[in-house]
Homo-oligomer: A and B are copies of this chain.
């Protein structure tokens, strides 16, 4: 029952929120833009406004239920937060997104931040390229 997740986050249990969660759980792309979520809702026959989708996604982000990626120049994509940190490879042709984790890179980042006197709060690493399908 994901109603609990919402209540835990101090959010009322509403149809838009339940449906957005449901979509994020069921999608196989895993990474969806607000527009993608909005269109999925329409396909399900749920008439939920785009503004609400943005609001809900932002609240989910604040609640730690969802992670937001800000892709180069353009729109954001959202994914269910699974607690396992990872970074992304993006295909510049088809927009496919793949995930990876690399402990060596993570460690080097910490070292660099330390060396520069920065208290690291976050980082973003995107590898752009052409995926196997698109070559």
Q: Footprint of B on A, CB under 8 Å? A: 70, 72-73, 76, 89, 91-92, 98, 100, 102, 104-105, 108-109, 112-113, 116-132, 135
Chain B residues with CB below 8 A from A135, complex form: 119
A123, B91: Cα distance in complex, Å: 11
A-B contacts, 23 listed (Cβ < 8 Å): A70-B72, A73-B76, A89-B112, A89-B113, A89-B116, A102-B112, A104-B105, A109-B125, A112-B127, A113-B129, A118-B127, A118-B129, A118-B131, A119-B130, A120-B128, A122-B128, A123-B125, A123-B128, A124-B124, A124-B125, A124-B126, A124-B128, A125-B125
Q: Is the CB of B89 within 8 A of A124?
A: no
